[in-house]
Amino acid sequence: MTSDHAIDPRVPPSGAGCAECDAAGGWWFPLRRCAQCGHVDCCDSSPGQHATAHFRASGHPVVRSYEPGEAWFWNYATAEIYESGPDLAPPVSHPADQPSPGPAERVPEDWAERLRR
């Protein structure tokens, strides 16, 4: 899929939601997990676009979906998607009872209009 240094299957995820959105009191739509350091961020559809920002700041190119039932990887450096990849340390997604968008108490009523497309 990519060079060995871009994925560390031993590193657990940083949490159940986007670290930056949580710190700022924001909300997210699909979550992504850095395959190298485990940092969990929101995708480019989210207002914060923190997963892309993490790639730019850290140089860590590969993320895995952090949504229940999804196991695909994305490589920012090559703009390639992979249907599967190595097993990563658990958990492999945010909690199934956590809604998307989330977290529920911070999602605005007009969330669909606020998504980046």
pLDDT-derived band at 27 (thresholds 50, 70, 90) equals very high
Q: What is the mean pLDDT of residues 84-111?
A: 94
Tens digit of pLDDT for each residue in 75-85?
999 999 999 99
Specify the pTM.
0.92
Confirm if 54 and 61 have CB atoms less than 8 A apart.
no
User: For residue 53, is pLDDT > 80?
Assistant: yes
Q: Which of 44, 100, 47, 46 is nearest to 76 (CA)?
A: 44
Write down the H helix ranges in 1-117.
19-24, 50-58, 111-114
Those residues with Cβ within 8 angstroms of residue 25's Cβ, 6 or more apart along the chain or in another chain: 106
Q: What is the pLDDT of residue 111?
A: 92
